[in-house]
Structure 1
Amino acid sequence: MAKIRITKQFTFETAHALYGYDGKCKNVHGHSYKLDVTVIGEPITDMDNVKCGMVIDFGDLKRIVKTEVVDIMDHAILLNKNTPHLKLAEHLKSSGHDVVLVDYQPTSENMIADFAKKISRKLDKNIMLHSLKLRETGTAFAEWYASDNA
């Protein structure tokens, strides 16, 4: 059977600050992110399976990515847990804002690697994460490929 790639795009709004950075991105600012998630697998051939002909139901992929990434990141502030902005983060959290503290510099490169780990571990064993593309702006993006990380 042929291997087929399936892609679904997601959007979310997230603010972040780059701890120790020497430019404007050291300040808290936001982006309208677009995340393309591509998985690869063989379509189901069992005619008794309601998902016959699908590699993965787009709804199932949506549920995984929303749970692991979008619902956590959307309209949240993403900060390195070692940031000097911790007092601000604590104040925002206590005021009801979503703050996500991570153990990495919240660049697109590190975010996409984190997303790859989270999404991969939720996929069925017969489906592999093939690639991710995270657009931070209309002209800047990071890409992750399983083949580069094997």
Structure 2
Amino acid sequence: MLTITKRLEFDAGHRIPQHKSQCRNLHGHRYALEITLEGEPIDDPESSDHGMLMDFTDVKALAKDHLVDLWDHAFLVHDGDTLIRNLLAQIPGHKTVVLNRVPTAENLVAIAFEILDPLYTERFGNHLKLRRLRLYETPTSWADCDRK
């Protein structure tokens, strides 16, 4: 099996409500998401993707349409963080994404894996699957979610 990885970046705000440090405050990050796919190269001389696992443009388009564009320049908030949810609701047209988990790097990468996994799996009959997502919260801090 071979792997390919595509990196996308987006900006988003969040807070960790019960955290002991400054992360309990509203703040934002320049996130980077690395999408690693595993499979065999497409063996169809008639296909424009011949010799590829998946065209990088298509990897990017799926991630942007289903995750990155939704989270980019949004505030990612836990559904239990009613104080901030109510505050953000007062801002007309505010881009808020309500999540069922506290928006830690670990939870965000797990949510992202759940969203993206079915989009890449077995698309071309070349055993393609999402192998790993890596979400950088800072250049030196990240969380991984790997296929079990």
Query: Are 2:116 and 1:119 aligned?
Result: yes
Give the CA deviation at 1:31: 0.3
Who is 1:103 aligned against?
Answer: 100
Who is 1:134 aligned against?
Answer: 135
Which amino acid counterpart does residue 139 of structure 2 have in structure 1?
A: G
Compute the RMSD of aligned alpha carbons.
1.1
Q: How does 1:30-49 map to 2 (within 5 A)?
A: 30-49=28-47
> Residue by residue, what CA displacement relative to the aligned partner does 1:21-67 show, whole Å, maximum 9, x if unpaired?
22211111000011111000100111112211110011110111101
For structure 2, the residue ranges without an aligned partner over 5 or more in a row are: none
Aligned-partner Cα distance in 2 for 1:51–1:139: 34
Who is 1:26 aligned against?
Answer: 24
Counterpart of 2:119 in 1: which secondary structure?
coil
| C-alpha contact (below 8 Å) 2:38/2:131 kept by paired residues | yes
Give the CA deviation at 1:124: 4.0
> Residue by residue, what CA displacement relative to the aligned partner does 1:89-124 show, whole Å, maximum 9, x if unpaired?
2113xx122000111000000000011111111114
Who is 1:80 aligned against?
Answer: 78
Who is 1:71 aligned against?
Answer: 69
Counterpart of 2:90 in 1: which secondary structure?
helix
Aligned-partner Cα distance in 1 for 2:88–2:18: 16
Which amino acid counterpart does residue 93 of structure 2 have in structure 1?
A: G
Aligned residues: 143
Aligned-partner Cα distance in 1 for 2:2–2:78: 37
Aligned-partner Cα distance in 2 for 1:124–1:130: 10
**Runs ≥4 in structure 1, deviation > 6 angstroms?**
none
Aligned-partner Cα distance in 2 for 1:62–1:138: 21
Aligned-partner Cα distance in 1 for 2:39–2:54: 8
Identical amino acids, percent of aligned pairs: 33
Give the CA deviation at 1:74: 0.5
Which amino acid counterpart does residue 24 of structure 1 have in structure 2?
A: Q
Who is 1:145 aligned against?
Answer: 146
| C-alpha contact (below 8 Å) 2:14/2:77 kept by paired residues | yes
